Structure 1
Amino acid sequence: MVSPSEVLELTLSRPPTLGSGRLICVDGLAGSGKTTLARGLAALAPEAVVIGTDEMLAGWRGLPGLAGSVEALLRPLAAGQPGTWRRWDWYADGWAETRTVLPGPLLVLEGVGSAAAAYRELVTTLVWVEADLDVRLARWLERDGEGMRPHWDDWLADEAALHARQDTRSWADLVVRT
């Protein structure tokens, strides 16, 4: 398995792609371990801003619109300006506050669909994380509870369609299987 230190070392060995900073996208399949890897990166790089793209989705069926939200955050950062994004409140089932990200040395985006072809040139390192479906489902139910199971089939369909359209795995710098 690829360690967070290997991801960080690879990223820092590359020139900046996000203005004067670098961007790591930890993309892949739901329940595969993306958040765990991102937490490891955050522990190694306290200057990093880490954003879970789950908070940038417009609810359970919001995956198709995620790339637009991420790109709206990244383009100003690439120009050396603050970027903004709006947080989805999963409990209220609606948009909440707008958050600002200042240009910095390292931004880590983690989540299904965090990397997209529309801003590929801004990604310094793309890590694709995957696991078997039964492992992913067990992790997902442990994290979100049995009450969320009805959303699983729709999410899997949206996830599969997104990754087929974007072909994200094929341009990953690193592939991690958990």
Structure 2
Amino acid sequence: MPEWIDPRAALERVLDLVAATQPPATVLVDGPSGSGKSTFADLLIAGWADVAGNPALVRLDGIYPGWSGLDAASAAVAADLLVPRAASRDGGWRRWDWTRGAPAEWHEVAASQPLIVEGCGTLSTTSASVVAIRVWIEASDAVRKPRALDRDAGAFDAHWDEWDAQWRRYVEREHPSTRADVRVRSD
């Protein structure tokens, strides 16, 4: 299992893996809420263009079908986006409209385009088996909960316990950190 490294070293390691991967590279970034996945993905996007072109960025926050939708989004991104790409076919994802509480438009991602998928639930058994670059980011509960609640300006507060419980079930069932090529501590 890879050693724990800081975010800067992880960014360099992932960009090295991207450069060494047969195009188009796909990177999965998973970890608990508030661990720093979105920040890491943004930094990865900024550095990626110098290494391997411009990747698409898919955030699971736009796919979860509501606050109880971690497993559904994890399964959908695997079946609709990652498995087709592994077979050199275009894939995609359906955005969840949080305001309406309903599915929204479909987003196509070409099989030839580099891709980063970021969010809780990306390193499921299926997804991890079809992608070569897998990142796990974590932070202590004392760091990540205030970070997540501050980020969402109160919208997440009432749902923290529900989300965290399904997150912990996912981790117990899928053991996503064991699938990572790069493991990051962000606190």
- TM-score, length of structure 1 as denominator length: 0.91
1:68 to 64, 75, 93: 75
1:9 aligned residue: 16
Change (3 A) 1:122 1:147: closer
Q: Is the 8 A contact 1:59 1:93 kept in 2?
A: yes
Is 1:80 aligned to residue 83 of structure 2? Answer: no
Is 1:113 aligned to residue 121 of structure 2? Answer: yes
Q: Is the 8 A contact 1:11 1:124 kept in 2?
A: no
Q: Residue 39 of structure 1: CA displacement?
A: 0.3
User: Matches of residues 130-169 of structure 1 in structure 2 within 5 Å?
Assistant: 130-169=138-177
Q: Residue 121 of structure 1: CA displacement?
A: 2.5
| Structure 2 residues without counterparts, runs of 5 or longer | 1-5
- Determine the C-alpha separation between the residues in 2 that align with 1:171 and 1:118: 11
* SS of aligned partner of 1:44: helix
* SS of aligned partner of 1:76: helix
Change (3 A) 1:36 1:78: same
2:64 aligned residue: 57
Q: Residue 105 of structure 1: CA displacement?
A: 4.7
* SS of aligned partner of 2:7: coil
Q: Which amino acid aligns with 1:91?
A: T
- Determine the C-alpha separation between the residues in 1 that align with 2:164 and 2:64: 15
Is 1:38 aligned to residue 41 of structure 2? Answer: yes
1:99 aligned residue: 107
| Structure 1 residues without counterparts, runs of 5 or longer | none
* SS of aligned partner of 1:113: coil
Cα RMSD, aligned residues only: 1.5
Could you list the per-position Cα deviations for residues 21-74 of structure 1 after superposition, in whole angstroms to 9, with x for gaps in the alignment?
221111011000000000011111231111101111111000111232112212
- TM-score, length of structure 2 as denominator length: 0.87
Q: Which amino acid aligns with 1:24?
A: V
